[in-house]
Structure 1
Amino acid sequence: MTDTVTAAPEAPPKTRFRGGPWGTLVAIAFGVMMVALDGTIVAVANPAIGADLNASLAELQWVTHGYLLGLAVFLITAGKLGDRFGHRNVYMVGIVGFTITSVAIALSGTVAVLVGLRILQGVCGATITPAAMGLLRSNFPPHMLGRAFGVFGSLLGAAMAAGPIVGGILVSAFGWHSAFLINLPVGIVALAAAVWLIGANRPTDPGSRFDLPGVLLLSAAIFALVWALVEGPVVGWAHAETLGVLGAALVMGAAFVLWELRAAHPLLPMGIFRLPTISIGTVLMLLTALGLMGSLFFVTFYLQGVRGLSPMQTGVQLLPLTLMIGLFGTPAGRIMDRFGTRVPTVAGLVFAAMALFMLSRLTFDTGAVFTSVAFLLLGLGLSLVMTGATAAILTSAPVSLAGVAAGMQQAAMQLGGSIGTAVLGAMLSLTIVGSLPGHYADQGLEEPGAAAVADMQSTVSQGGAVVPESATAEVAEAVTRASHLAFIDGIHLAFGIAAAVMAAAAVLACFMKPAARNGSAEPVVHI
């Protein structure tokens, strides 16, 4: 049986600040900025974490992937919890959990403990962003949602812009532990602002039942997929472990879809994907994150390893990217409200493709002006894409599914990040293995054998070099240059792939149905 359900009538916006739309936006700013700040700080802190804990590239990837894993697995479930029990309460639980796990991470002394806590931190973070977006969706009138999401994106961008600089200062002065301890004061302020400014807790779908089988199947499918993406490049894509885990992800994913089609109260109603705006917007979020997260993970190693910049200098170099996202988010929202989502989103993807193509041309001594222009274009493009895709998804879903839609949007972004770092990391490593011996020969060094290259691959993939202890200064310089040239070969391919993905996404975005300029929600068909 098929029922068509339209969005519930929107309540008129409150005129007071405390408990009203803009007060809610100010309150959730602290929480979402804390999550965004953590992400960019960790990117700058990764080299210091690797050096202090003697972590390999695979282990450092798990510092990032563990967090993304926790987020991706729990995002849609957290969104449903917000719809069922109220986004205000779920948001505050997430703030408390995120703050506590951040302090625990700072106190960890091994990579295994750190990664485990990062997964738990991701689960806590998963409750914050969908709840925050659900609060925006239920508090702002339709014609102002584009502007609200634009401001929301600006806040995220401001945190991203501050992250590398704050992270660079903290890591340089106090070590990588301080990059997580910073969340303690931010978390306290975020909790206080939520208590004071957000109105009474109001569930948007209080009559629904909790779909436990759906939660278990979806969580298992996403967990297996992310695990395979991380471990595949390490053990090999054709390895029995990789194939087995990928097979499990496929089986669990198919079982989830079949269950959701039959469930009386599905976690994720499959009918929501019959709307092209939602389905295409979700794919665009995944592809955008693939290019962004996959690129940023390795550009940090380029700046610090090859260019020799300090963490602070790296943060400054990335400032055009993060600052542009912060500054252009609000104008992007106004553009969406006036012109719809399709044209600005396509334009943003074209800008992002151009920027990533520029980054695929990086050399041993590329100047700061070139990289700054590339980061500026990338930030401009991502502002348009993320605001457009987010507005398309959430304004097309009914208020009763605001949390689920927000969780779906965020899950696509986190999965895209995992796919990006895994796939681009694999391409980077394969290129290094193939080109490193030749660069050794070009520098007048003896070509290393396959076993030696395999031993060096992890270090070279982080922008470093394995220099023998007894090497002379001339030999050390030659080894370092050969290693850096092999790393540059790898990022040429990785960024080239990312640019191609953005170009393909721009073509896909052309098929989006332009969102209504008044922001009215489309009907959602439940099956």
Structure 2
Amino acid sequence: MAQQLAGHRSEREAASPAGSVGLRRWLALGVLVLAQLAVWLDNTILNVALNTLASPDEGLAATTNQLQWSISSYTLIFAVMLFTGGVLGDRYGHRRVLNTGLLVFGAASFWAAMSTSAPELIVARGAMGVGSALIMPATLSLISAVFDARERAMAIAIWSGCSGLAIAAGPLVGGALLERFWWGSVFLVNVPIVAVALIGAVILLPAARTKVRTALDPLGVLLSTAGLGAVVYGIIEGGHRSDWTGAAVLGSLIGGLLVLVAFVWTELRVAGPSFDLRLFRSNEFTGASVSVMLTFFSLSGSMFYTSFYLQGVRGQTPFEAGLNLVPVAVGVLLGAPVSARLVRGLGVGRVVSLAMVTAAVTFLAYVRLDLDTAMVWFWLLMLVQGLAMGAAVAPTTEAIMAVLPQERTGAGSAVNNSMRQIGGVLGVAVLGSLLTSAYGSDVERSLAGLPAPAAETARQSAEATRQVAAEAHLPRLVDAANDSFLHAMHLTSVVGAGVAALGALVVFLTFRRSTAGTRPAEAPRPAES
């Protein structure tokens, strides 16, 4: 009897008024967009704050590897906890998990704003990642609950495209705040957004959950966190030390990979895996997920060094840098809805592979950026990059959700978002470390004659070199810092372009047999035990 009552309750929750009234349905989408806006806003705001955080006077005197960790601690925890976030939503209700995530995210944002050291900020950012991991899979699952198949593609396109609002608003809001307040204000701004989203969620969203009560998988979460954390640590430290053969770096990389192998072995054998590897039996699900990961690898890496290019090499204020990044946001906003229509006529493979090739070309075009590049050229580059990214992400997200049975939307959306975040954290780690190594090697010849401690400090980053130049009254070092940074950025952008091109190849091969308008086949359901 209790099970029957529980089943009726689940059916009533799924059939919420939010899904039956047209205006209310789209207002519910607005709440979900606002919730994910808080998550993406934080990412883009931090990009323009990196230069300030590196300052010993205005920020926390954070080193390059501490800045990488301030990004990576968030994205790493976000990525591995997404699995748990999706399962918790399926088990206890997506609205309930969304509200919990918003509360955690808001509290951790306040903590980050009040941090007094770089290590404390890194930990607070990790706590923000926990909140984001509860928010993101719930938003996508609730879209599936609120919208039917006919409208779902457009709703997901709007949901994906509105991340462009964060790309635009983040740098602008962050730059404006940094010109008027202390650096912590870029995190404090999340609090009112969270409050509004919480109110809207309570009023408008259905308490949707599936009838399948998936078991939790704490061992899977622990292994994935430890394995990915060790690999990322090895990558970041290897770039920082310019030594990839040291015991700490090599041991971390090998140990992390071994732990990830144990994670895969464990997930294939548990009844309720946190990361359901059996979803990858679907070729379409695998191809779309991998292409999303590679796309965000290149995008996150490029955003990391673009901030230093604009504020360091070009000498722009945070607000000016934010204004110059608006075109990429405009492109994302335009690219996502347009791609939904193109896919119906041309198919996922053609649209997404062309979009990702275009994105790869824009990443490669960074080799043409220098001290005197006209900003009009930079704006055009950002606009095309945004169009390509918007056109690539929305159709792959819809393809992923289309192959999932309804009771697996939480786990599937968790995989989708986790692949994005894993791509992002690896992009910042790999491309950021490559940037650091290339810069240190190139600037070395310009540091001859400096005292050993000053030379060691200057070798770490362009910001550190400029600081040494100011203290030693050596303006020539500023020119050397700019030239070496441009050399390192050009080298790094070639690698990022290659990764994006690989993503285009993956999605083209995966969907090459799909005809126009054909929806991917349903993914096989995991074996019950």
Q: TM-score, normalised by structure 2?
A: 0.90
Which is worse superposed, 304-313 or 460-469? 460-469
C-alpha distance in structure 2 between counterparts of 1:208 and 1:353, whole Å: 39
How far the C-alpha of 1:447 sits from its partner, in A, is: 6.1
| Residue matched to 1:225 | 231
**Residues in 1 aligned to 2:415 and 2:51: alpha-carbon distance in whole angstroms:** 31
Structure 2: stretches of 5+ with no match in the other structure: 1-10
Tell me how far apart the structure 2 counterparts of residues 61 and 191 of structure 1 sit (CA, whole Å): 31
Q: Give 1:492's aligned residue.
A: 490
For residues 11 and 509 of structure 1, the distance between their equivalents in structure 2, rounded to whole angstroms, comes to 35
SS at match of 1:262: coil
Give the aligned residue type for 1:523.
A
What is the distance in 2 between the residues matched to 1:239 and 1:205?
51
Write the distance in 2 (CA, Å) between the matches of 1:99 and 1:458. 34
SS at match of 1:237: coil
Partner of 1:479: 477
How many residue pairs match? The answer is: 508
Number of the residue aligned with 1:459? 461
- Does the alignment pair 1:213 with 2:219? yes
What is the SS of the residue equivalent to 2:82? helix
Q: Report if aligned partners of 1:90, 1:128 keep a CA contact under 8 Å in 2.
A: yes
Write out per-residue CA displacement over residues 202-230 of structure 1, whole angstroms, 9 at most, x where no aligned residue.
32253332233333333332333333333
1:305 aligns with 2:312: yes
How far is the alpha carbon of 1:331 from its aligned partner?
2.1
Q: Which moved more, 1:84-93 or 1:256-265?
A: 256-265
**Rounded Cα–Cα distance in structure 1 between residues aligned with 2:32 and 2:155:** 12
Q: Report how far residue 314 of structure 1 moved.
A: 0.2
Residue ranges of structure 1 left out of the alignment (5+ in a row)? 1-7
1:5 corresponding residue in structure 2: none
CA shift for structure 1 position 468: 5.3
**SS in structure 1 of the partner of residue 460 of structure 2:** helix
2: CA distance, partners of 1:339 / 1:425: 36
State the alpha-carbon separation in 1 of the partners of residues 465 and 327 from structure 2: 22
Contact 2:343/2:516 (<8 A) preserved: no
- SS in structure 2 opposite 1:209? coil
Mapped contact 2:465–2:478 kept (Cα < 8 A): no
Equivalent residue for 1:408?
A: 415
Shift of 1:23: 3.2
Alignment correspondent of 1:4 = none
RMSD between aligned residues: 2.4
Residue 424 in structure 1 maps to residue 431 in structure 2? yes
In the other structure, the counterpart of 2:181 is 174
CA distance in 1 between partners of 2:328 and 2:114 (Å): 31
Q: Are 1:40 and 1:160, in contact at CA under 8 Å, matched by a contact in 2?
A: yes
Q: Which residue of 2 aligns with 1:507?
A: 505
Question: Identity across aligned pairs (percent)?
Answer: 31
Partner of 2:526: 526
- Cα distance, 1:268 vs. partner? 3.2
Deviations 1:275-309, CA, capped at 9 Å, x for gaps:
11111111111111111000111111010111011
Q: Distance in 2 between matches of 1:449 and 1:278?
A: 56
Q: Which moved more, 1:189-198 or 1:145-154?
A: 145-154
Q: Which residue of 1 aligns with 2:32?
A: 28
1:290 to 275, 285, 297: 297
Written as runs of structure 1 = structure 2, the 5 A alignment for 1:266-285 is: 266-285=273-292
Deviation string, structure 1 residues 221-243 (Cα, Å, up to 9, x no partner): 23333333333323432222222
Using the TM superposition, give the Cα deviation of residue 437 of structure 1 relative to its aligned residue in structure 2, in angstroms.
4.1
Question: What's the CA shift for 1:68?
Answer: 1.0
Query: Shift in Å at residue 87 of structure 1?
Result: 0.9
Distance 1:489 1:311, change over 3 A: same
Partner of 1:15: 20
* Code of the aligned partner of 1:466: V
Deviation of 1:517 after TM superposition, in Å, equals 3.0
Maintained 8 Å contact 2:294/2:502? no
Residue 433 of structure 1 and its aligned partner are, at CA, apart by 2.5
Tell me the CA shift for residue 521 of structure 1: 5.4
| Correspondence for 1:335 | 342
Contact 2:84 2:217 in 1 (8 A): no
- Cα deviation for residue 317 of structure 1 reads 0.7
Q: TM-score, normalised on structure 1?
A: 0.90
Task: Report deviation, 1:465.
Answer: 5.3
- CA shift in 2, pair 1:469/1:384, >3 Å: same
Residue of structure 2 equivalent to 1:249: 256
- Return the offset for 1:334: 3.0
Equivalent residue for 2:4?
none
- 2: CA distance between counterparts of 1:335 and 1:523? 24
- Match of 1:353? 360
**TM-superposed deviation, 1:463:** 8.2
Deviations 1:176-215 (A, max 9, x none): 111111111111101001011102x132253332233333
